[in-house]
């Protein structure tokens, strides 16, 4: 078969559910061998676009090609060439991992021998170990996630779709999934389309990131390109009061490119961080009642990118067991 440069191309994809437009005109392109991170908060449309690209639902408008075939016109050809691990893995608790892998192999028309060979390769890769012979009902969440990944890989797909592969996993399981995704990409050259609501995950794994919000692709680029769009540095100012007066005064400073306000916190994008901190401090001192609680200089993060393209705020997922993750979301507060 002819080697394709483009693994995934979507052109103006729209998908509505009744009057709700879940995906609202998304165009994107993923090159072969790329890891593309599709980043956005809950309800942004990540799963819906993934399901369109995987031929599970048809688009309301637009076209998409995956592995060289049109998802609407030749879904069977697409399906043979993709692996899919969706957010809610449909695993049968009464079966063992080995049984499910064998079933999946037969489903894709592999011989019993070919399936066994492939499963042997995968157990190495996925590292579920002895548990593979046990009933899935006894598996931890992380093991289920890895088995689901193995199931998506039985037929050696060209393109792998992972829908929030680490949501709800503990930090150790999460790190293992990251490692596996990297290995699949680096060692086997597999193209990966991965959705996530974790900024670190996209930053860590993806060569290129598309940020989706309310069904629209609002920014796209490599992690460093996206961060560079913010300006070179970020100054965080947390005040006790007088937020508007401080904003008016700070806007006049030479290096301040933009100011985003979240409650009493001002996030300043500045072209020269070290050179700006002193003028910012002096300016704040001149604002009556500003009451500076915090003044921090840092490098821009994907959080800042998300904030600048959506105008919405970012929260730390400190109320879950995710550990290191910040998620994109709609909450009004920012705690650091
Ligand atoms: N099967 C469905 N029927 C009706 N509405 C849906 C369906 N699937 C998704 N939606 C809606 O589409 C929007 C996007 O959902 P989804 O693609 O699941 O977002 P994400 O995966 O980014 O959390 C949401 O408003 C959701 O309620
Ligand atoms: Mg989803």
- What DSSP string describes 271-330? S-HHHHHHHHHHHHHTSTT--EEEEEEE---HHHHHHHHH---EEE-TTSS--S-EEE--
Same domain as 275, residue 155: no
- Residue 233, both tokens: 């540095």
Same domain as 160, residue 25: yes
Q: Residue of the nearest CA to atom 2 in ligand 1? A: 17
| Residue 15 placed within a domain | yes
Which of 26, 42, 43, 164 is the best mutation target for the ligand 1 pocket, counting ligand atoms within 8 Å of the beta carbon and taking the most?
43
For the CA of 197, the closest atom of ligand 1 is 22
Interatomic CA distance for residues 248 and 298, integer angstroms: 22
Percent of the chain at pLDDT exceeding 90: 54
Q: Residue of the nearest CA to atom 7 in ligand 1? A: 17
For the CA of 18, the closest atom of ligand 1 is 4
CA–centroid distance, 48 to ligand 1, in Å, is: 6
pLDDT at 259 over 80: yes
Confidence tier at 4 by pLDDT (50, 70, 90): low
* Least confident piece of the model among 152-161, 168-177, 221-230, 312-321: 312-321
Question: Collapsing DSSP states into helix, strand and coil, what is residue 262?
Answer: strand
Model pLDDT, residue 323? 35
pLDDT at 46 over 90: yes
Ligand closest in space to the Cα of 87:
2
In the block, tokens 């500045």 appear at 270
Same domain as 157, residue 245: no
Same domain as 150, residue 21: yes
Q: Residue of the nearest CA to atom 12 in ligand 1? A: 22
Last residue of a domain, one of 227, 262, 279: 227
Last residue of a domain, one of 201, 227, 253: 227
pLDDT at 336 over 50: no
36 DSSP β-pair partners: 193, 208
CA–centroid distance, 15 to ligand 1, in Å, is: 10
**H-helix or E-strand spanning residue 227:** helix 223-228
| Residue 311 placed within a domain | no
Model pLDDT, residue 91? 85
Same domain as 207, residue 244: no
Model pLDDT, residue 321? 32
| Residue 312 placed within a domain | no
Structural domain that includes position 156? 6-227
The CATH number that applies at residue 267 is 3.30.70.980
Confidence tier at 322 by pLDDT (50, 70, 90): very low
pLDDT at 262 over 80: yes
Model pLDDT, residue 334? 35
| Residue 261 placed within a domain | yes
Work out the average pLDDT over 111-117: 89
Q: Residue of the nearest CA to atom 25 in ligand 1? A: 43
pLDDT at 328 over 80: no
The CATH number that applies at residue 49 is 3.40.50.300
* Least confident piece of the model among 121-135, 223-237, 263-277: 121-135
How many structural domains compose the chain?
A: 2
CA angle 17, 19, 22 (to 5 degrees): 50
Interatomic CA distance for residues 200 and 197, integer angstroms: 9
CA–centroid distance, 50 to ligand 1, in Å, is: 11
Same domain as 262, residue 113: no
Closest CA relative to residue 280, chosen from 227, 239, 334: 239
Ligand closest in space to the Cα of 24:
1
Ligand 1 neighbours by CB, cut-off 6 Å: 17, 20, 22, 40, 42-48
Same domain as 77, residue 220: yes
| Residue 114 placed within a domain | yes
**Alpha carbon 230 to chain centroid distance?**
19
Same domain as 246, residue 211: no
For the CA of 49, the closest atom of ligand 1 is 17
* Least confident piece of the model among 102-106, 157-161, 272-276, 298-302: 298-302
Work out the average pLDDT over 144-152: 88
| Residue 331 placed within a domain | no
- Residue 195, both tokens: 């959705």
| Residue 319 placed within a domain | no
CA–centroid distance, 86 to ligand 1, in Å, is: 14
Interatomic CA distance for residues 160 and 10, integer angstroms: 16
Q: Residue of the nearest CA to atom 16 in ligand 1? A: 45
Q: Residue of the nearest CA to atom 20 in ligand 1? A: 43
Same domain as 272, residue 294: yes
Same domain as 203, residue 57: yes
Interatomic CA distance for residues 261 and 306, integer angstroms: 14
| Residue 184 placed within a domain | yes
Model pLDDT, residue 228? 79
Model pLDDT, residue 279? 95
Model pLDDT, residue 313? 54
Model pLDDT, residue 72? 96
**Whole-number Cα distances in Å, 318 to 167, 322, 324, 335:** 14, 8, 9, 9
* Least confident piece of the model among 9-23, 116-130, 191-205, 236-250: 116-130
Same domain as 199, residue 236: no
pLDDT at 314 over 60: no
Last residue of a domain, one of 172, 196, 227: 227
Q: Residue of the nearest CA to atom 5 in ligand 1? A: 17
Ligand closest in space to the Cα of 39:
1
pLDDT at 218 over 70: yes
* Least confident piece of the model among 40-54, 119-133, 273-287, 311-325: 311-325
Same domain as 144, residue 292: no
Q: What is the pLDDT of residues 158-212, one digit of tens each?
A: 999 999 998 888 888 888 889 889 989 998 899 999 999 888 899 999 999 999 9
């Amino acid at each position: 078969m002819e080697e394709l440069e483009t693994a995934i191309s979507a052109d103006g994809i729209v998908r509505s559910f009744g009057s709700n437009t879940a995906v609202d005109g998304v165009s994107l392109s993923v090159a072969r061998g790329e890891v593309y991170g599709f980043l956005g908060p809950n309800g942004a449309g990540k799963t819906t676009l993934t399901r369109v690209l995987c031929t599970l639902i048809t688009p309301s408008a637009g076209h998409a090609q995956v592995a060289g075939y049109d998802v609407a016109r030749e879904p069977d050809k697409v399906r043979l060439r993709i692996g899919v691990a969706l957010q809610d893995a449909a695993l049968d608790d009464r079966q063992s991992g080995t049984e499910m892998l064998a079933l999946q192999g037969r489903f894709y028309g592999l011989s019993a021998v070919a399936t066994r060979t492939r499963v042997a390769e995968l157990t190495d890769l996925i590292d579920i170990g002895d548990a593979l012979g046990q009933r899935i009902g006894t598996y931890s969440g992380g093991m289920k996630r890895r088995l689901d990944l193995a199931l998506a890989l039985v037929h050696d797909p060209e393109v792998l779709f992972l829908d929030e592969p680490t949501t709800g996993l503990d930090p150790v399981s999460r790190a293992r999934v990251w490692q596996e995704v990297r290995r699949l990409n680096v060692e086997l050259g597999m193209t990966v389309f991965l959705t996530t609501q974790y900024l670190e995950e996209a930053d860590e794994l993806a060569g290129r990131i598309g940020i989706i919000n309310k069904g629209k692709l609002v920014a796209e680029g490599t992690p460093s390109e996206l961060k560079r769009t913010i300006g070179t540095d970020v100054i965080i100012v947390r005040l006790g009061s007088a937020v508007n007066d401080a904003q008016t005064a700070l806007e006049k400073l030479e290096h301040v490119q933009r100011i985003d306000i979240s409650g009493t916190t001002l996030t300043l994008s500045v072209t020269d961080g070290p050179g700006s901190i002193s003028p910012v401090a002096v300016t704040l001192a001149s604002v009556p009642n500003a009451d500076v609680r915090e003044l921090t200089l840092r490098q821009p993060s994907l959080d800042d990118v998300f904030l600048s393209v959506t105008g919405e705020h970012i929260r730390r997922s400190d109320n879950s067991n995710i550990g290191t993750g910040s998620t994109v979301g709609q909450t009004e507060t920012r705690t650091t």
